[in-house]
Amino acid sequence: MNEYEKQISSIDYLTENFINLKKKCRNILIITNKFDSAFHLSRAKLIDEIISIHEKMKMKELTLFLTIKYFDFFVIEKNPKAFNERSIMLTCLYIAAKINEINVIEIRYLPFNFLEFPTRKILKLEENIVDCLNYQLNLPTLYDFLSLYLKQIPLNSEEFKKSILTIELLLFDINISNTIHLDLISLSSIFSFYSKDSIENQFEKLSYPHSFTSKHLIQCINLVKKTINNLYDNPNYLRLAKSKYINLNLS
Question: In this predicted model, what pLDDT tens digit does every residue of 79-138 receive, in sequence order?
Answer: 777 678 899 999 999 999 999 998 877 888 888 877 778 888 889 999 999 999 999 898
Cβ atoms 225, 250 nearer than 8 A: yes
Crossing angle of helices 196-205 and 214-233, in 10° steps, is 120
Using 50, 70 and 90 to split pLDDT, how confident is the model at 28?
low
Same domain (yes/no): 121, 151: no
Query: The domain that contains 79 carries what CATH number?
Result: 1.10.472.10
User: Tens of pLDDT along 223-238?
Assistant: 999 988 888 777 777 7
* CA separation for the pair 63, 68 (Å, rounded): 9
Distance, CA of 91 to chain centre: 17
Is residue 201, in this structure, part of any structural domain at all? yes
Task: Give the tens place of pLDDT for each residue, 123-154.
Answer: 999 999 999 999 989 899 999 999 999 988 88
Q: By residue range, what is the domain housing residue 67? A: 33-132
Tally of CA atoms within 13 A in the half-sphere of 201 that contains its CB: 6
| pLDDT for the residue numbered 1 | 43
pTM: 0.88
- Single residue among 132, 153, 176 that ends a domain in this structure: 132
Q: What is the DSSP letter of 239?
A: S
| DSSP per-residue letters across 175-238 | HHHT-S-HHHHHHHHHHTTS-HHHHHHHHHH--S--SS-HHHHHHHHHHHHHHHHHHHH-TTS-
Same domain? For 176 and 119 the reply is: no
Number of domains in the chain: 2
Helix ranges (DSSP H) in 79-210 = 85-100, 119-132, 142-149, 157-170, 174-177, 182-191, 196-205
Q: Which of 113, 132, 151 is the last residue of a domain?
A: 132
Domain boundary among 72, 100, 132: 132
